[in-house]
C-alpha cells in the first residue's frame, strides 16, 4: 500500500469510523477485497483497532478506530505525501517555464521576416 492510499484510508477512518468495508471501498474507488486487505494491514500494524458493537438493527456492526500509533502514522504519511507533492510541484514549475521559453523562441523565430530574393 503506497503512502497516498494509506493516507486516504487513515483520513477516512479518522473522520468516519463507522463506515462499512463496502462503503469504504466505494469511497476509495477500490475493490472490496483490496479494501479488506488494506484494513487488515493497518490492523496488523496496530494502527487501527476494530470495535464490534451490537445494535438491534445490525448484528455485525463495526467501527474502525485509529490507535495513537495510527494517528502518528497518519501524520507521518501526510508529511511524506506533502513532501512528494511539493517536489513534484517544483519539478512541474521548472518544466512549464522551460516549455514557455521554447514556445517563445519558436514564436519569435516564426515571426521573423522572411528574406526574399528578387531578380
Instruction: Tell me if 70 sits within 8 A of 48, measured CB to CB.
Output: yes
Q: What is the pLDDT along the chain (119 residues), one digit of tens a residue?
A: 888 899 999 999 999 998 999 999 999 999 999 999 999 999 999 999 998 765 545 556 788 999 999 999 999 999 999 999 999 999 999 999 999 999 999 988 887 665 555 55
- Label residue 12 exposed, middle or buried (CB < 10 Å: 0-12, 13-18, 19+): middle
* pTM (predicted TM-score): 0.70
Amino acid at each position: 500500500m503506497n503512502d497516498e492510499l494509506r493516507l486516504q484510508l487513515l483520513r477516512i477512518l479518522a473522520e468516519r469510523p463507522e463506515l462499512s468495508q463496502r462503503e469504504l471501498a466505494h469511497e476509495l474507488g477500490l475493490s472490496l477485497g483490496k479494501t479488506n486487505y488494506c484494513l487488515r494491514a493497518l490492523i496488523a500494524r496496530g494502527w487501527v483497532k476494530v470495535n464490534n458493537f451490537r445494535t438491534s438493527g445490525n448484528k455485525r456492526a463495526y467501527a474502525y478506530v485509529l490507535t495513537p500509533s495510527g494517528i502518528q502514522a497518519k501524520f507521518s504519511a501526510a508529511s511524506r505525501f506533502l513532501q512528494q507533492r511539493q517536489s513534484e510541484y517544483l519539478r512541474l514549475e521548472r518544466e512549464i517555464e522551460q516549455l514557455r521559453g521554447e514556445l517563445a523562441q519558436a514564436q519569435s523565430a516564426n515571426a521573423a521576416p522572411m528574406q526574399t530574393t528578387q531578380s
